[in-house]
Amino acid sequence: MYPDIDNLHLEQDAGTLTVWFNRPETRNALSTEMADELASVLEALPASDVRVVVLRGRGGSFCSGGDLKMFRNVFQAGMPRSEIVDFNADFGRMMAAIRALPQLFIVASEGYAMAGGLGIACLADVVLCTADARFALTEVTLGIPPAQITPVVMERIGASEARRLLLTAQRFDGVEAHRLGFAHFVEADESALEQRLGELIRDAARCAPGAVALTKQIIVASDTLERDS
């Protein structure tokens, strides 16, 4: 059912699929290969019996953003920009796959959720984090604009706060992420995070999958539907 993967780890328990970023040595930096694998896994899910999808990171961090090695190769070593073009294409495909998911999509964030990692979290239906989690939109410090994630960041927290964070790359913790609206739940530690996640999965089990899928379609369409005057 699922494609071959090297950078992810999948755990399925009844109707819940947990997808783990599995590059802990890089704080789960998002490489082209990892983005491509995640897109492939998510694209296989609409026809499955999975009811809840949870995205997490091994090694105590969710995702530290794009792989800095790739950016250094291009900007410092003069490597072809095709690496970044390929990464952007795979990241865009991954974002589209997340948006198309009919299932409840949960992100549980510990440690670092930076740049594209935070952008992924902005696409989740529900986001949990620990109080000591670390967040930032760091693209401008690398000399690149965060073109693909800017719209989803603005949609999540509003234009004013998004402008501040996108242009200053300020770091903030899980408590502030909750205040800003990035996270729906902020928990004291990993144990509390696991408990909250279990509660959400049990709540989701009471919901009809077809109704969840249609409701997600309505939510997406509501941004473009004309309203009665």
Output the 3-class SS for the chain.
Answer: CCCCCCCEEEEEECCEEEEEECCHHHCCCECHHHHHHHHHHHHCCCCCCCCEEEEEEHHHCCECCECHHHHHHHHCCCCCCHHHHHHHHHHHHHHHHHHHCCCEEEEEECCEEECHHHHHHHCCCEEEEECCCEEECCHHHHCCCCCCCHHHHHHHHCHHHHHHHHHHCCCEEHHHHHHHCCCCEEECCHHHHHHHHHHHHHHHHCCCHHHHHHHHHHHHHCCCCCCCC
For residue 55, give the amino acid letter: L
Higher pLDDT: 227 or 210? It is 210
* Candidate from 81-85, 95-99, 130-134 with smallest mean pLDDT: 81-85
| Structure confidence by residue, pLDDT tens digits, 52-83 | 999 999 999 999 988 766 665 555 555 566 76
Please tell me the predicted confidence (pLDDT) of residue 138: 93
Strands in 16-21's sheet, in edge-to-edge order, are: 8-13, 16-21, 52-57, 104-109, 126-130, 185-187
- Average pLDDT of span 148-169: 97
Please tell me the predicted confidence (pLDDT) of residue 177: 98
- Average pLDDT of span 162-172: 98
- Are 174 and 113 in contact, with CB atoms under 8 Å apart? no
Is residue 226 predicted with pLDDT exceeding 60?
no
83: its two tokens: 């690496």
Question: pTM of the prediction?
Answer: 0.92
Is residue 84 predicted with pLDDT exceeding 80?
no
What percent of the chain has pLDDT above 70?
90
- Are 187 and 197 in contact, with CB atoms under 8 Å apart? no
Closest alpha carbon to 19 in 106, 118, 97: 106
* Candidate from 54-58, 64-68, 87-91, 171-175 with smallest mean pLDDT: 64-68
On average, the pLDDT of the chain sits at 92
Distance between CA atoms of residues 188 and 205, nearest Å: 25
The residues, any chain, with a CB within 8 Å of residue 13's CB and separated by 6 or more, are none
Please tell me the predicted confidence (pLDDT) of residue 73: 58
Is residue 33 predicted with pLDDT exceeding 80?
yes
Please tell me the predicted confidence (pLDDT) of residue 86: 77
Distance between CA atoms of residues 169 and 217, nearest Å: 33
pLDDT band at 229 (very low <50, low <70, confident <90, very high): very low
pLDDT band at 227 (very low <50, low <70, confident <90, very high): low
- Are 114 and 65 in contact, with CB atoms under 8 Å apart? yes
Is residue 228 predicted with pLDDT exceeding 60?
no
